Amino acid sequence: MWVFSAGPSESTSEFKWLTSLEEAVEEASAQGKLVLIDFYAEWCGPCKLMDDEVYTDPDVRTFLSEKFVCVKVNVDENPGLAREYNVAFIPTVVVLTPSGVELGRIVGYLPPDNFISELSGIISQS
């Protein structure tokens, strides 16, 4: 018996990272979504774990694509933005409304299920 898979779901394939916070805010406003900022650095071990284990997880990708417009901010390349959002440790994920109001943040590595749970909690409190 042969089983064929159509590949990733449409919402998973739609997941993308932006590199401009301004663009993310515009898209979030137009789409009625929240903004998720992932503050990271190339040398950061836990940041790499987030990239390798969390952001590649199909459930996480689907959840993010449905609820957020996501932007990655390298703290070494954008120290002013990191200061503006009081990022003291990385990885730090900040959730904003399209108008720029911070709803919550996650500091440090979380496995996929915990990451979705924490983000869901932030959304439900907004």
**What are the residue numbers of the active site?**
44, 47
Chain-centre distance for alpha carbon 45: 17
Decide: 53 and 114 in contact? Cβ < 8 Å: no
The phi, psi pair for 81, rounded to 5°, reads: -65, -40
Place of tokens 């957020």: 68
